[in-house]
Structure 1
Amino acid sequence: MKLMRVGAVGAEKPAILAADGTIRDLSAHVSDIAGAAISPEGLKKIAAIDTATLPVLSADQRIGACVAGTGKFICIGLNYSDHAAESGMAVPPEPVIFMKATSAICGPNDNVLIPRGSEKTDWEVELAVVIGKTAKYVSEADALDYVAGYAVAHDVSERAFQTERSGQWTKGKSCDTFGPTGPWLVTKDEVADSQNLNMWLKVNGEQMQNGSSATMVYGVKFLVSYLSQFMSLHPGDIISTGTPPGVGMGMKPPRYLRDGDVVELGIEGLGTQKQTFKADA
């Protein structure tokens, strides 16, 4: 299933992308794409609905972030061997974990705001894992039992804030609108192999990233198990699993985003995003 949320900011309706390409309203069945609705039991109930009986929503409506109620937006740094190399950094002996503020989450096609004082706003296409039920001390073998599905995430980053201002990475990752997520939460039954998905990103039509989740250092199963040893993962939590090479920071000379730039990105089977970058007032 491809679950989504459509409508104005703060007033999104839960929806499903039907087989005929129409967007169908799930409001009569679930209050949102969140919590119990994305548990294994909740997803079974949604799967049993005849989408032909659901009201059609306008395809012109804004698409919101594909999951609501996210308590934690956990990111994994330097998790692609080829990206670590372009960054001039060693592959870490354990996953690098940092948090992105949930206030950064926005719709996949919303404008992204370049924060005041920014000179190094950068792009990163990432595979997002959405948790469907509480995970604590889970084994790698059982890890996917706790995953609701996958989505495209754009881990927008301000590199000067991230690496030149002292302290941890969070402040360079958490600016408002720095977490476009969606368009869909694609349930795991529709993703044959999360470790073999093509990923790409373009800036103003120019290809910048063209990679695959196959080059992840630490895969989805490992990450869910690993994180659950340190903190409980709850329904709606997002794990953004790292980016392949081709980010602006790694170019010679480095290249960063400016007001008016348009970024398009996508992951095989998970949909696409398109954002215009705007200087924040």
Structure 2
Amino acid sequence: MMRHARVACFGSVHDAVEIDGRLKLTDGRVVKPADVVWLPPIQPETIFALGLNYADHAKEISFKAPNEPLVFLKGPNALVGHNGQSRRPVDATHMHYECELAVVISETARNISYDDAYDYVAGYTIANDYVIRDYLENYYRPNLAAKNRDDLTPIGPYFVDKDDISYPMQLGLRTYVNGELKQEGSTRDMVFDIPYLIEYLSSFMTLNESDVILTGTPKGTVHVYEGDEVVTEIEGIGALKNTIVGDSVFAR
């Protein structure tokens, strides 16, 4: 399996691949993972996020699974890399993690059929699509303040090629908070699977290379607080670590 990353070290940004627990930069240098700053492994033009795409999660927050995909957009400002920090505003009372499989589009396309959908997938990574539910709005307005805050969506550490994930609809998802398992599910429980989402989105808009689809989260989301270390893990892809910090870090 080839696992790709984007990192900062030696004063610049590098593409890298993981080899035997170390990172080989494109210029040939080899570094330890602890010696780099991890960046989002992809630079998307558009980020699509799915709401209520697991029926068990919809039920736990008192909703029914939708009859068609519930999709909203996120800006690239929301992304932060592995080992990064995400801010919990002082007035927040309901901040939840959301472990999600992130699907990366391979090329520009429109009107992709269900049967051809995987031909337009470049690969996969992990996203933790945090939500601050205090700021949730109704269905007629976007969830902008709840989901699009700066550095609120950790992603990475690695991008894994499509061919290295044989069964993307059968991957285990887990979330640990301070080392304790809090969330466990499988991509097989999605309401709308990956081909359906690609067919649906491309039916009315163009998908572009490196666009990302965040496919939703299973049940098991709980509150997180300042100082918590959250690890979201997906079978075959890796483990994404993030720390919750408070307003004081930002002098607020």
TM-score norm. by structure 2 comes to: 0.92
User: Which amino acid letter does the alignment assign opposite residue 208 of structure 1?
Assistant: K
Matched, 1:67 2:37: no
Compute the displacement of 1:11 (Å).
Answer: 4.0
Matched, 1:25 2:18: no
Query: Paired residue for 2:233?
Result: 266
Compute the displacement of 1:215 (Å).
Answer: 0.4
Q: Counterparts in 2 of 1:99-178, with a 5 A limit?
A: 99-163=73-137, 167-178=141-152
User: Which amino acid letter does the alignment assign opposite residue 207 of structure 2?
Assistant: L
1:246 paired residue among 220, 237, 247: 220
Query: Paired residue for 1:277?
Result: 244
Quick one: distance in 2 between partners of 1:11 and 1:121? 33
Compute the displacement of 1:115 (Å).
Answer: 3.0
User: Which amino acid letter does the alignment assign opposite residue 22 of structure 1?
Assistant: R
Compute the displacement of 1:216 (Å).
Answer: 0.4
1:257 paired residue among 224, 232, 244: 224
Matched, 1:86 2:60: yes
Q: Counterparts in 2 of 1:195-206, with a 5 A limit?
A: 195-206=169-180
- Equivalent position SS for 1:182: strand
Compute the displacement of 1:163 (Å).
Answer: 3.8
Matched, 1:7 2:15: no
Contact kept, 8 Å, 1:107 with 1:180, in 2: the verdict is yes
- Equivalent position SS for 2:38: coil
User: Which amino acid letter does the alignment assign opposite residue 237 of structure 2?
Assistant: L
- Equivalent position SS for 1:115: coil
Quick one: distance in 2 between partners of 1:234 and 1:168? 22
User: Which amino acid letter does the alignment assign opposite residue 266 of structure 1?
Assistant: E
Quick one: distance in 2 between partners of 1:170 and 1:100? 8
- Equivalent position SS for 1:232: coil
TM-score norm. by structure 1 comes to: 0.83
Contact kept, 8 Å, 1:115 with 1:175, in 2: the verdict is no
RMSD of aligned residue pairs (Cα, Å) = 1.8
Task: Give the count of matched residue pairs.
Answer: 245
Matched, 1:222 2:196: yes
Compute the displacement of 1:275 (Å).
Answer: 1.3
- Equivalent position SS for 2:168: coil
1:180 paired residue among 154, 160, 179: 154
Listed one character per residue, the Cα deviations across residues 60-93 of structure 1 (whole Å, up to 9, x for unaligned) are: 212111112x111110110011111112111111
User: Which amino acid letter does the alignment assign opposite residue 182 of structure 1?
Assistant: G
Listed one character per residue, the Cα deviations across residues 109-146 of structure 1 (whole Å, up to 9, x for unaligned) are: 10111135322211100000011111211101111111
Structure 2's unaligned 5+ residue stretches are none
Compute the displacement of 1:221 (Å).
Answer: 1.0
Quick one: distance in 2 between partners of 1:258 and 1:83? 21
Q: Percent identity?
A: 36
Greater strand fraction, Structure 1 or Structure 2: 2
User: Which amino acid letter does the alignment assign opposite residue 257 of structure 1?
Assistant: V
Contact kept, 8 Å, 1:265 with 1:273, in 2: the verdict is yes
Query: Paired residue for 2:69?
Result: 95
- Equivalent position SS for 2:63: coil
Compute the displacement of 1:15 (Å).
Answer: 0.8
Matched, 1:58 2:25: no
73 and 11 in structure 1: CA distance in 2 versus 1, 3 angstrom threshold:
farther
Quick one: distance in 1 between partners of 2:210 and 2:137? 29
- Equivalent position SS for 1:266: strand
Quick one: distance in 1 between partners of 2:170 and 2:103? 14
Quick one: distance in 2 between partners of 1:116 and 1:238? 30
Structure 1's unaligned 5+ residue stretches are 29-53, 249-255
User: Which amino acid letter does the alignment assign opposite residue 246 of structure 1?
Assistant: G
Quick one: distance in 1 between partners of 2:235 and 2:6? 20
Divergent runs of 4+, >4 A: none
